[in-house]
Amino acid sequence: MARNAVQHSVSGSSLADILERVLDKGVVIAGDIKIKLVDIELLTIQIRLVIASVDKAREMGMDWWLRNPDLSSSKLGESDSKLVSQLEDRINRLEAELAATRAEKILPQSASVSQ
């Protein structure tokens, strides 16, 4: 009785070796999906997928995750911190103006009541 056996290559690569090679070199997968009806294009979907290590991606000029506040460790960049500071100053100034306006409205009424 003959059995079908799986033959293994002597110089085979493990999954870790393949993954290391892919991340080191990088892989680009690109595809387009177009839906047409009577030569009228209704929908186009372009898919671009890059699989690479962080170091390889930086070599290729891809570092968008460093500028994304949702993905970086420092949530606010320098320009964001400046904007927050300006907004805090504006809020403090508006609150001071509001308090002064309220004080002006309350003081004349209390002065007329005491007379």
pLDDT by residue for the chain (115 residues), tens only, comes to 555 565 555 556 788 888 888 888 888 888 889 999 888 889 999 998 888 888 888 888 888 877 777 776 655 566 777 888 899 999 999 999 999 988 888 776 655 555 5
Q: Is residue 49 part of a domain?
A: yes
| pTM (two decimals) | 0.39
Residues 84 and 107 in one domain: yes
The 3-state secondary structure of the chain reads CCCCCCCCCCCCCCHHHHHHHHHHHCEEEEEEEEEEECCEEEEEEEEEEEECCHHHHHHCCCCHHHHCCCCCCCCCCHHHHHHHHHHHHHHHHHHHHHHHHHHHHHHHHHHHHHC
Q: Is residue 29 part of a domain?
A: yes
Q: For residue 92, what pLDDT is reported?
A: 95
Rounded CA separation 31/94 (Å):
53
Residues 21 and 47 in one domain: yes
Residues 54 and 94 in one domain: no
Q: Is residue 107 part of a domain?
A: yes
Residues 50 and 89 in one domain: no
In the chain, how many domains are there? 2
Q: For residue 76, what pLDDT is reported?
A: 58
Q: For residue 104, what pLDDT is reported?
A: 83
Domain around 42: 14-62
Q: Is residue 7 part of a domain?
A: no
Residues 49 and 87 in one domain: no
Residues 56 and 96 in one domain: no
Q: Is residue 5 part of a domain?
A: no
